[in-house]
Amino acid sequence: MKKYFFVIAILCGLLANAQNNTIGFGEKLVFSASYNMSGILTDIAEVKMETSEVKTSKNSLMRLKCTAATYKKWDNFFKIRDLYESYVNPKTLTPYLYKRDISEGGYYKFMQYKYNHKAKLVKSLKRKKRKDGTTWDENKNVKINATTKDIVSTLYYIRNLDIHKATPGDQQDFTVLFDNKETTITLKYISKETISTNIGSKECYKLALSVKGSDVLKGSNSNLLWLTADQNKIPVYAKFKIAVGNGELKIQSATGLKH
């Protein structure tokens, strides 16, 4: 599921320093995640993306929370309980704190990033479990580029871009920090397309992606994302192909939208 979430994130990750005019507090998107098992796409997990307001002594932040959990009937086979979250400036979506807490079939990992944008530095904490159940920590300072973001804040940036100004074939490189490594992603605008979803028929922007210097994604134009071609630009459908198979993400419900 960590690769699944990584794929979802980069599918959604065209990065730019845009003002947030699209996403408000209280938004909730629910998806079903399916994977190809023995030649049949099977729903195995529920993915949620939620926003909320968090007030500190100095600021009001937006919490971007993404979770993934296998449906109960799959828990005995491979139980997944993943949490990814980023605390960002509500106006610019610039991240200040990122957390990743994953539990997948007995595998556990926790990551935390604290940003110092002026110094172009992330203070990273990685925590893993040994076989005996005890944990060990690894602290590291990671140098980043000026536009580098974590997965979750990247997920939301695309929705503030002026995609309506793009023409087929337009593409952009951007950088996401994952497991303390900067990864360069190329996202390409393909076309507009109307598709049927669980929240109705939607005219969408169709986007394709590739990863530089990595074989995590397979095939040409096999990894695609559809965003609604409206003011909300919500992701309603995604499909991917990786070395060990292929899968899809389909929206089930969308509430608390700003527009």
Any domain includes 255: no
pLDDT at 98: 98
Measured CA angle at 164 (ends 199, 49), to 5 deg: 40
**Per-residue tokens: 135:** 């944990």
Tens of pLDDT, residues 28-71: 999 999 998 778 899 999 999 999 999 998 889 999 999 999 99
Tens of pLDDT, residues 200-242: 999 999 998 877 766 666 656 778 999 999 999 999 999 988 7
Any domain includes 258: no
Any domain includes 39: yes
Any domain includes 246: yes
In 40-134, the DSSP E strands lie at 40-55, 60-70, 80-88, 95-104, 107-116, 121-129
Tens of pLDDT, residues 115-134: 999 999 999 999 998 888 88
Q: Give pTM, 2 decimals.
A: 0.89
Q: Which of 90-94, 207-211, 248-252 has the lowest mean pLDDT?
A: 207-211
Query: Is pLDDT at 137 greater than 90 in this prediction?
Result: yes
Tens of pLDDT, residues 157-192: 888 888 999 999 998 877 889 999 998 877 889 999
pLDDT at 117: 94
Any domain includes 115: yes
pLDDT at 21: 93
**Rounded distance, CA 185 to CA 251, Å?**
24
**Rounded distance, CA 148 to CA 164, Å?**
24
**Domain range for 208:** 2-250
Any domain includes 256: no
pLDDT at 17: 44
Any domain includes 203: yes
Q: What CATH number does the domain containing 58 carry? A: 2.40.360
Query: Is pLDDT at 145 greater than 60 in this prediction?
Result: yes
Q: Domains in the chain: how many in total?
A: 1
**Rounded distance, CA 189 to CA 221, Å?**
11
Any domain includes 259: no
